[in-house]
Amino acid sequence: MALGREVFVVDALRTPIGRFGGGLRGVRADDLAAMVIDALLQRNGVVAGGALDPARIDEVIFGCANQAGEDNRNVARMATLLAGLPDSVPAITVNRLCASGMDAVLAGWRRVALGEADVVVCGGVEGMTRAPWVLGKPEDDPARGNQTMYDTALGWRFPNPKLDARFPLEAMGVTAENVATRYGIARHDQDAFALRSHERAIAAWSGGRFAREVIAVTTTRGKQPTTCDRDEGPRADTSLERLARLRPAFAEGGSVTAGNASTLNDGAAALLLVSEAGLRAMGRPAMGKIVGGASAGVDPRFMGMGPVPAVERLFGQVGWTWGDVDLVELNEAFAAQALAVLQHWQIAPERVNLDGGAIALGHPLGMSGARITGAALYALAHHGGRRAIASLCVGVGQGVAIAVEAID
């Protein structure tokens, strides 16, 4: 869908992805988002006296899925202020659960394409380790009986009985089992997919392909400062034999395990989007450009299939087919759903997640969509190609996709 002006991605970066309770556990989500915003702008001269005055940033847009704790009350605005940007720079937080970061990028794309902005910082953040437990206010006064407390790190909270009457309010892992059963995705294939994710992520780190993409985060938790400068999820010691020994995590006799699913994580990512006028003002080349984006809904019980209709809509907008696409970044919520999506698309794994995916790297919900958008552009630069698609499934049954191109 042609919206008007071309939209360029000048740069993309992210923090390392910390495991649950790992190296980023001492960092608040708003601080984590501020770190990537500050690093992105400093690296690209968007500082006082630099290539572009920070007051010329028209909007900051960040995705975040939780928003129940330190990421509450518009974390994008908090991060913008914490990063030292002028008070005049506005900010907004968007939430489409797992696709929040990608929706933030697409919101920035639309603003620039429609002529509403020339410079937009967009991205996503999630601090799942620090997600709080929450307790609802009782309907009775004074409260009587037991009260339910929810862990906001993942899953349903305060579920509506009307939805429960329409379909089972199943955990994400159960929806992955649903997909595996419907589409005949075998346990061995899921484990092999997971192993490949780890192998590719480790190869990317060893080959230096994350050197420009990932910034180090130093924390002061404890007596000594510690630095997290590498994703904590990829495991060099994993194997098919080790993966095969893991028990099903969500269903008796099932196939989805902790080894072939993504994990709970912490992290943040940011991208700098500009118009052609913004690009001239910066006086530097762009990584690539955003061509289009689309979203779609599916049965919540099979939420992992969301990328299928989302990409179909996207192709209808941009006029592409799979023959026009060189590389794909598909978020690996679960190996079962990723394999089912690839089975539907009939594309070879050699084109997908060449530097690893969420099973190895991790899946900080609000960050992931922004991460894989940047990863798609980095993959084109590292592995060759002109066009790429990035897409995610979304809890409660949705999918989002984005199309990007390298600059000739």
Q: Are 171 and 396 in contact (CB under 8 A)?
A: no
Distance separating alpha carbons of residues 15 and 37, to the nearest angstrom: 11
Among this protein's residues, is 363 annotated catalytic? yes
Distance separating alpha carbons of residues 104 and 127, to the nearest angstrom: 17
| Kind and range of the H or E run holding 371 | helix 365-383
List, in order, residues 6 or more apart from 370 with CB less than 8 Å away.
12, 14, 63, 101, 102, 104, 105, 122, 123, 124, 269, 270, 271
Strands 18-19 and 7-14: unpaired
What burial class does residue 399 get, using C-beta atoms within 10 Å of its C-beta: 0-12 exposed, 13-18 middle, 19+ buried? buried
Among this protein's residues, is 382 annotated catalytic? no
- Dump the DSSP string for 98-132: GGHHHHHHHHHHHHHHTTS-SEEEEEEEEESTTPP
Of 122, 198, 363, 382, catalytic = 363
User: Comparing C-alpha atoms, which of 38, 7, 11 is closest to residue 106?
Assistant: 7
List, in order, residues 6 or more apart from 163 with CB less than 8 Å away.
169
Of 64, 122, 228, 393, catalytic = 393
Of 64, 98, 122, 228, catalytic = 98
- Dump the DSSP string for 147-205: --EEETTSS--S--HHHHHHS----HHHHHHHHHHHHT--HHHHHHHHHHHHHHHHHHH
Among this protein's residues, is 228 annotated catalytic? no
Residues known to be catalytic: 98, 363, 393
